[in-house]
Amino acid sequence: MKRLLVALGCVLSLSIAAYAAPEAAKAPEATPAVAAQAPAAAAAPAVDAAKVAAPAAESKATLKANPKVTIPIFLIIIAATMSVVVWSAKQTKSAADFYTAGGGITGTQNGWAIAGDYMSAASFLGISGMISLYGYDGFMYSVGWLVAYITVLLIVAEPCRNAGKYTLGDILSFRTSPKPVRAVAAISTVSVSTFYLTAQMVGAGKLMQLLLGINYTIAIVGVGILMVGYVVFGGMTATTWVQIIKAGLLMTGAFILSVMVAIKSGFSPFQFFTDIATNQNIIDHVKLLPIYLKEVDAGTATADAGQRFLEPGLFLTNPLDQISLGMALVLGTAGMPHILMRFFTVPTAQEARKSVIVAMFIIGSFYILTTLLGFGAAVHLSPQGIKQVDAGGNMAAMMLAKTMGSEFSPFIGDLLLAFLCAVAFATILAVVSGLVLAASAAIAHDIYVNVIKDGHADQHEQVMAARITSFCVGAVGILIGIAAEKQNVAHLVALAFAVASSGNLPVVVMSLFWKKFNTAGVVAGLVVGTIASIGLVMVSPNMTYPDRVADNAKAAYTKLEAEIAAGLVAPAAMEKTLKTIEAKKAEEAKNRGGKSMLGLSKPLFNLKNPGIVSIPLGFIAAILATLAFPCRRAEEMWDEIYVRQNTGLGMAKAIDH
Amino acid sequence: MAEKTYDWASIAKNPKFIELHHKKTAFLFGWWIFSTIYYFLLPIGAAYAPGLFKIQILGRINFGYIFALSQFFVSWGLAMYYAHVANKDFDRLTRELVNELQ
- How far apart CA A433 and CA A468 sit, in angstroms, is 15
Q: Choose the closest CB to A647 out of B46, B79, B94.
A: B94
- Per-residue pLDDT band for A65 (boundaries 50, 70, 90) equals confident
Range of the domain at B69: 13-101
Selection from A123, A204, A101 nearest residue A429 by Cα: A204
- How far apart CA A245 and CA A234 sit, in angstroms, is 15
Distance of CA A238 to the CA centre of its chain: 20
For residue A650, the chain B residues in CB contact (below 8 A) are 3, 6
Instruction: Express as a percent the part of chain B with pLDDT over 70.
Output: 96
HEC per residue, A15-60: HHHHHHHHHHHCCCCCCHHHHHCCCHHHCCCCCCHHHHCCCHHHCC
Query: Which residues are paired to B58 by β-bridges?
Result: B61
Please give the average per-residue pLDDT across A99-122, as a whole number. Answer: 91
Query: Which residues are paired to A605 by β-bridges?
Result: none
Residues 1-60 of B with CB under 8 A from A: 1, 3, 6, 8-9, 11-12, 17, 20-21, 24, 28-29, 31-32, 35-36, 39-40, 42-44, 46-48, 50, 53-54, 56, 58-60
- Per-residue pLDDT band for A49 (boundaries 50, 70, 90) equals very low
3-state secondary structure of A393: coil
Answer yes or no: do B75 and A360 touch at CB < 8 A: yes
Here the ipTM equals 0.93
Please give the average per-residue pLDDT across A375-399, as a whole number. Answer: 89
pLDDT at A342 over 90: yes
3-state secondary structure of A127: helix
For residue A354, the chain B residues in CB contact (below 8 A) are 83
Please give the average per-residue pLDDT across A417-429, as a whole number. Answer: 89
Q: Choose the closest CB to A310 out of B1, B48, B65.
A: B65
**Residue A636 Cα, gap to closest chain B Cα (Å):** 9
Query: Which residues are paired to B56 by β-bridges?
Result: B62
Residue B7 lies in a domain: no
- How far apart CA A52 and CA A393 sit, in angstroms, is 9
- How far apart CA A617 and CA A503 sit, in angstroms, is 9
pLDDT at A36 over 80: no
- How far apart CA B66 and CA A136 sit, in angstroms, is 11
Contact of A639 with chain B, judged by CB distance below 8 Å, is answered with yes
For chain B, the maximum distance between any two Cα atoms, rounded to a whole number of angstroms, is: 68
Answer yes or no: do B75 and A150 touch at CB < 8 A: yes
Least confident stretch, A217-221, A500-504, A557-561: A557-561
How many C-beta atoms lie closer than 10 Å to residue A640's C-beta? 20
Instruction: Give the residue from chain A lying closest to B20, CA to CA.
Output: A646
pLDDT recorded at residue B36:
95
Across the A/B interface, how many CB contacts are shorter than 8 Å? 156
Least confident stretch, A481-495, A506-520, A611-625: A481-495
Distances (CA, A) of A313 to A297, A549, B36: 16, 23, 22
- Per-residue pLDDT band for B100 (boundaries 50, 70, 90) equals confident
User: How many CA atoms lie within 13 Å of A633's alpha carbon, on the beta-carbon side?
Assistant: 9
Residue B38 lies in a domain: yes
Category of A26 on φ-ψ map: left (φ > 0), alpha (ψ -120 to 50) or beta: left
Residues 242-271 of A with CB under 8 A from B: 269-270
Please give the average per-residue pLDDT across A247-271, as a whole number. Answer: 91
- Per-residue pLDDT band for A27 (boundaries 50, 70, 90) equals very low
Query: Which residues are paired to A471 by β-bridges?
Result: none
3-state secondary structure of A98: helix
- How far apart CA A251 and CA A427 sit, in angstroms, is 11
**Which residue did the predictor score with more confidence, B98 or A31?**
B98
Residues 65-84 of B with CB under 8 A from A: 65, 68-69, 71-72, 75-76, 78-80, 82-83
Residue B23 lies in a domain: yes
For residue B65, the chain A residues in CB contact (below 8 A) are 136, 139, 273, 310
Burial of A315 (0-12, 13-18, 19+ CB in 10 A): buried
- How far apart CA A40 and CA A42 sit, in angstroms, is 5
Answer yes or no: do B32 and A274 touch at CB < 8 A: no
Least confident stretch, A27-36, A313-322, A613-622: A27-36
Q: Choose the closest CB to B78 out of A150, A302, A319.
A: A150
Q: Which of B39, B58, B82 to mutate to test the interface with A (most CBs of A within 10 A)?
A: B39
Answer yes or no: do A144 and B39 touch at CB < 8 A: yes
Number of domains present in the structure of chain B: 1
- How far apart CA A354 and CA B61 sit, in angstroms, is 34
- Per-residue pLDDT band for A38 (boundaries 50, 70, 90) equals very low
Q: Is the pTM of this model over 0.90?
A: no
Please give the average per-residue pLDDT across B77-89, as a whole number. Answer: 94
Selection from A430, A563, A480, A493 nearest residue A84 by Cα: A430
Residues 479-538 of A with CB under 8 A from B: none
DSSP state letters, A241-305: HHHHHHHHHHHHHHHHHHHHHHHHTTT-HHHHHHHHHT-HHHHHHHHHSHHHHHHHHHT---S-H
Domain residue ranges of chain A, discontinuous segments joined by +: 2-483+632-656
Please give the average per-residue pLDDT across B73-88, as a whole number. Answer: 95
By the 8 A CB rule, do A484 and A198 touch? yes
- Per-residue pLDDT band for A87 (boundaries 50, 70, 90) equals very high
For residue B17, the chain A residues in CB contact (below 8 A) are 643, 646-647
pLDDT at A291 over 50: yes
DSSP state of A354: H
Residue B21 lies in a domain: yes
DSSP state of A125: I
Contact of A646 with chain B, judged by CB distance below 8 Å, is answered with yes
- What is the overall mean pLDDT for chain A? 84
pLDDT at A52 over 50: no
Answer yes or no: do A646 and B17 touch at CB < 8 A: yes
By the 8 A CB rule, do A319 and A608 touch? no
Tell me the pLDDT tens digit for each residue of A448-487.
999 898 888 888 888 899 999 999 999 999 999 998 888 7
pLDDT at A356 over 50: yes
* Stretch (H or E) spanning B58: strand B56-58
Answer yes or no: do B83 and A139 touch at CB < 8 A: no
Q: Which of A141, A147, A365 to mutate to test the interface with B (most CBs of B within 10 A)?
A: A147
Where b means 16+ CB within 10 Å and e means fewer, A427-461 reads bbbbbbbbbbbbbbbbbbbbbbbbbeeeeebeeee
**Residue B16 Cα, gap to closest chain A Cα (Å):** 11
By the 8 A CB rule, do B64 and A136 touch? yes
Selection from A427, A426, A406, A428 nearest residue A415 by Cα: A406
DSSP state of A344: G
* Stretch (H or E) spanning B57: strand B56-58
Distance of CA A187 to the CA centre of its chain: 20
- Per-residue pLDDT band for A30 (boundaries 50, 70, 90) equals very low
Selection from A593, A135, A462 nearest residue B54 by Cα: A135
- How far apart CA A298 and CA A294 sit, in angstroms, is 6
Q: Choose the closest CB to B12 out of A144, A150, A639.
A: A639
Helices (H), A346-409: 349-381, 383-389, 396-406
Instruction: Give the residue from chain B lying closest to A363, CA to CA.
Output: B72
pLDDT recorded at residue A37:
31
By the 8 A CB rule, do A156 and A340 touch? yes
- How far apart CA B27 and CA A154 sit, in angstroms, is 9
Q: Choose the closest CB to B59 out of A139, A274, A357.
A: A274
Selection from A595, A601, A605, A625 nearest residue A533 by Cα: A605
Residues 6+ apart with CB under 8 A from A113: A105, A239, A240, A241, A243, A244, A247, A342, A345, A355
Tell me the pLDDT tens digit for each residue of B55-69.
988 888 999 999 999
Please give the average per-residue pLDDT across A605-633, as a whole number. Answer: 92
pLDDT recorded at residue A29:
35
Helices (H), A106-167: 107-118, 121, 128-134, 136-151, 157-163
For residue B93, the chain A residues in CB contact (below 8 A) are none
**Residue B41 Cα, gap to closest chain A Cα (Å):** 10
- How far apart CA A602 and CA A591 sit, in angstroms, is 13
Q: Choose the closest CB to A364 out of B11, B72, B101.
A: B72
Q: Is the alpha carbon torsion for A280, A285, A288, A292 positive or negative?
A: negative
Q: Choose the closest CB to A353 out of B20, B86, B94.
A: B86
pLDDT recorded at residue A110:
95
Answer yes or no: do A136 and B78 touch at CB < 8 A: no
3-state secondary structure of A102: helix
**Residue B22 Cα, gap to closest chain A Cα (Å):** 11
pLDDT recorded at residue B4:
61
Query: Top-level CATH class of A2-483+632-656?
Result: mainly alpha
Q: Choose the closest CB to A311 out of B3, B40, B50.
A: B50
Q: Which amino acid is at B68?
A: A
pLDDT at A150 over 90: yes
Answer yes or no: do B39 and A270 touch at CB < 8 A: no
Distances (CA, A) of A348 to A71, A192, A395, B91: 41, 27, 41, 11
Q: Which of B7, B27, B65 to mutate to test the interface with A (most CBs of A within 10 A)?
A: B65
